[in-house]
Structure 1
Amino acid sequence: DGRLAGPPAVTLTVHNAEEACRPLRTLECALGLAKDPYRSYGSPDNRAGRVWHGDRVSAVCVVADGRLVRDEAGITSRRWYLVSGGGAVVPVDGWLPGVRTRNTTEVRECSAAETAEGRRS
């Protein structure tokens, strides 16, 4: 599947900058996972799934040069994590923008194969 054997995945907790949305699992408060960290985050054809504040996802790897994303509090980042888990009913796989977590644990860099896999989705 293009993923390299390496250090185990790191568990991340999804963070929503909008305090009013943190307890809600509504569509309005969902945060998107992208298919490709280099394409527009808000584009409907780049949507891989949804996660909500507090969801725990497994980060396989990270890219540091993805599309710049700004959250509702003004925090910006080009970091994107390739994650699985979370979701409302079925776990989802996709790219989580760095602004959607407050990670403090080292995550390995994605290989070219892992990054290309996302671009084919």
Structure 2
Amino acid sequence: TLLEVSPVSFNPHMSASEFVDKALSDDACVVFSKSYCPFCDKVKALLNSLNASFKVYELDNMDGGSAIQQELGKRTGATSVPRVFIAKESIGGCDDTQKAHRDGKLSAKLASAGAIKN
């Protein structure tokens, strides 16, 4: 599987904003998720089916996960998960990501960001 789950702990010397900035800079496609969330599972399965390379942060398994989730809410207007980003751009949640796929935009964004594995 191409899914990369990060066991990363929240760095106490880094603010939630700095953590999100670093996460979005480090990987072309990032999914902020919760391990028990069925909508998150749908998004991860969709990205895997597209042969995407992406980094997953399971907020419920991270120290500081709730602070990161609040930061995502400030940036995107929604605190629900998943929160999907491609090339630092918020794609949205599960419905938004599935709609982008149906509209043919998701694969193009992933390819443009270099997030498709050959």
Query: Structure 2 length normalisation: TM-score?
Result: 0.29
Specify which structure has the higher proportion of helix: 2
Specify which structure has the higher proportion of strand: 1
